[in-house]
Amino acid sequence: MASRRDFMETLYRESSGRIFDFLYKYTGNPEVASDLMQDTFLNFFKKYADSDLNREQSLKLLYTIARNRSINHAKKFSTVRETGAEDMGVFQEKGPTFVRKAELSDLESRLKECLAFLPEDERYAVVLKNIENYTLADIAEVMGISVATASRLVVRATGKLLEIAKEKQIFPGN
């Protein structure tokens, strides 16, 4: 049982930043993202502590739980989202994401604003694909949809993001 506990501790230590980033990109609020992340891991540990899931399976479940928790939170607290937090906390993922690769903090905040214009499912699909580098099969599994639907969501969301970026005159070269 000690090895399973070690696995869960390692999973939290290595994945909490990724889950926080995912939730922050959806909520735009670091405090809410942190609360939802803690709730996600607590729920995962309660339900799957004794399971024989590997790291990849565990991550997929964590993203699924995080997505569902954030949807429930959004439905429960459908208020205006806060933006522009200075400190994103210690859970910020240190690995590169497509937003961070943009190199400009102004561009990062404007791209985050563009994500907010997407419908919920499209936003999740494009974040999982472009920020978390998930395959279409993984996205389909996390979102509980077919691979074809996941593909359509990613393509549609990418097209919409490009249109929004053009409208707002957001280009990496600017």
Q: Domain boundary residue among 16, 51, 82? A: 82
Domain of 54 in residue numbering reads as 1-82
Is 154 within the bounds of a domain?
yes
Same domain flag for 24 and 67: yes
CATH number of the domain enclosing 136: 1.10.10.10
Q: What is the DSSP letter of 115?
A: H
Residue 18 burial (CB count, 10 A) = 21
| Helix locations, 28-146, DSSP H | 30-48, 55-76, 105-116, 120-130, 136-143
**Alpha-carbon gap, residue 157 to 117, rounded angstroms:** 10
Is 88 within the bounds of a domain?
no
pTM of the model: 0.57
Confidence band (pLDDT; 50, 70, 90) for 132? confident
Of 172, 161, 82, nearest in space to 126 by CA: 161
Q: Domain boundary residue among 49, 82, 115? A: 82
What pLDDT digit, counting tens, does each position of 46-68 carry?
888 888 888 888 998 999 999 88
What pLDDT digit, counting tens, does each position of 7-16 carry?
888 989 999 9
**Alpha-carbon gap, residue 145 to 148, rounded angstroms:** 8
Count structural domains, the chain: 2
